[in-house]
Amino acid sequence: MSTTSASFYRRTEDALADATLRGTLQRITGRILESRRSALDNLADADAWRDRARAIRAHTLSRLDDYLDQFVSNVETRGGHVYFASTADDAVRYVRDLAAARGVKRIVKGKSMISEEIELNQHLEADGIRVVESDLGEWVVQLGHDHPSHIVMPIIHMSKEQVGDLFRRTLDASNADVADVASMTQFARRMLRREFIDADLGISGVNFGVAESGSICICTNEGNGRLTTTMPRVHVAMMGIERIVPTPQDLTVMLQILARSATGQKLTVYTNVITGPRRTDGATGEEPDGPDELHVVLLDNGRSKVLGSELAEILYCIRCGACLNACPVYQQIGGHAYGSVYPGPVGSVLTPGLKGLDEFHELPHASSLCGACREVCPVRIDIPRMLLKLRADGAAAGKSQWWVTFGLRVFRAVGTRPAVFNLAGRVAAGATRMLARDGWISKLPFHMAGWTQSRDFPAFPAESFQQRWARRQREGRGADRPRGGGAV
């Protein structure tokens, strides 16, 4: 999914102009971060769990081909089918052909970012198939012809009043139906129940595939995940090739940190482990429940390229969304501004990694490089390092705006000549003090105006640090010589 009809900077300006959006984002992400801190504080040796999870991800990706082979073998041994899709088109074609061969008319979907990535819904609907999202947030997004704005919380950008208005417009909901959140949830449940019953095929995402058993693990906070994967006669699980863990024990480690990092829960409410379709012959283990067919679509779509690059660490990501919640940039602009199904810090690396810098060279600049994303990541992904790498790649490819390139060249020329640098500093200090009112500048000229659109710029002090240091040295009060005999 791409929403790049407008430039990144235009989308950012639109988001910054929406005070309600910013207030909602900061309130919700702040609450989630506090829940995360509390949940990790209550986990004994939380740092050791995170270190172990990182080691599992690093080890798995170092032997990804072996673990994928093992996973495929075990899925097929238990009666499932596996299709390796090199590209998005391959994955779409497989699902469309499967739906046509099985006479599918109705599809119910659980939450699946892979299906968003390949724009699967649009292709299936073009074939005349009814496709209904069953995750509450995804369903609301679908009703509004919108896109998710968060990895975990698709409608974090919407207030309950906006959801109520949408239900009235699209579903003829009554005032009682949208009186409060509980009423809207009950209304959605009534509307969706028939979709599960009538569906010919269910599509889900996959949080983790277990190589040793051929199992897939699906984590949701709603019962829709279980209904989507068991009631239709065919289940299609969409999975990125990197979402593998070697053993069930490794899965346990990942689950210990996933929900805590995502929502502050000890465990996601519905943690489902599915091993093959319905089986009644006993040859590969009795399993009387579930769909008649299980198809696992393993999607590459650029991941192999990322795995062999300096961005490989981004594939450690377990999609908890913690980096989005902690990012001061995401808190201001939300997910839609990124123009990709993967927003926030992780998306600023993953999206250019998968799709290249031509269309997404601006995303690595959507960061203050404060390191909050690295601090909260449950597997300690060094996102700032990769953002800097992508920025350098973009500059080398000529993707920087001319005024940025020109400005940096001027700064380098000035900064490498001490006398010129000192003179420039004195000139800038005088100029900014002339423009300032009460020490602040409310409107900067030219491209610098972007700074003062939402905040004032401080005037430079009359005395620079170097000037102050020299003066203190002359006065015999060097900053490195504490005065007095007391403890410091």
Residue 307 lies inside a defined structural domain of this protein? no
pTM score: 0.88
How many other CB atoms sit within 10 Å of the CB of residue 81?
16
Shared-domain flag, residues 17 and 138: no
Lowest-confidence pick of 59-63, 142-146, 175-179, 469-473: 469-473
Residue 8: pLDDT above 60?
A: yes
Residue 232 near residue 197 (C-beta atoms within 8 A)? no
Decide which of 354, 371, 400 is a domain's last residue: 400
Shared-domain flag, residues 14 and 87: no
Q: Number of folded domains in the chain?
A: 3
Shared-domain flag, residues 375 and 443: no
Nearest to 239 by CA among 310, 288, 306, 294: 294
Residue 440 lies inside a defined structural domain of this protein? yes
Decide which of 301, 329, 364 is a domain's last residue: 301
pLDDT in tens, 380-421: 999 999 999 999 999 999 888 777 788 888 999 999 999 999
Shared-domain flag, residues 345 and 228: no
Decide which of 368, 384, 400 is a domain's last residue: 400
Residue 417 lies inside a defined structural domain of this protein? yes
pLDDT at position 72 is 98
Shared-domain flag, residues 61 and 205: yes
Residue 461 lies inside a defined structural domain of this protein? yes
Shared-domain flag, residues 236 and 372: no
pLDDT at position 478 is 52
Shared-domain flag, residues 364 and 411: no
pLDDT in tens, 349-375: 999 999 999 999 999 999 999 999 999
Could you tell me the residue range of the domain that residue 114 belongs to?
A: 48-301
Residue 378 lies inside a defined structural domain of this protein? yes
Shared-domain flag, residues 253 and 199: yes
368 by DSSP, 3-state: which?
coil
Residue 290 near residue 280 (C-beta atoms within 8 A)? no
Q: What is the dihedral of CA 343, 344, 349, 351, to 10 degrees?
A: 10
pLDDT at position 286 is 74
Ramachandran angles phi, psi of 102, nearest 5° = -95, 5
Q: What percent of the chain has pLDDT over 90?
A: 81
The CATH code of the domain that includes 117 is 3.40.50.10420
397: β partners: none
Shared-domain flag, residues 265 and 336: no
Residue 310 lies inside a defined structural domain of this protein? no
Shared-domain flag, residues 133 and 198: yes
Shared-domain flag, residues 272 and 198: yes
Residue 382 near residue 374 (C-beta atoms within 8 A)? yes
Residue 162 lies inside a defined structural domain of this protein? yes
Shared-domain flag, residues 5 and 121: no
Residue 306 lies inside a defined structural domain of this protein? no
237: β partners: 204, 296
Kindly state the average pLDDT of the residues 158-180. 96
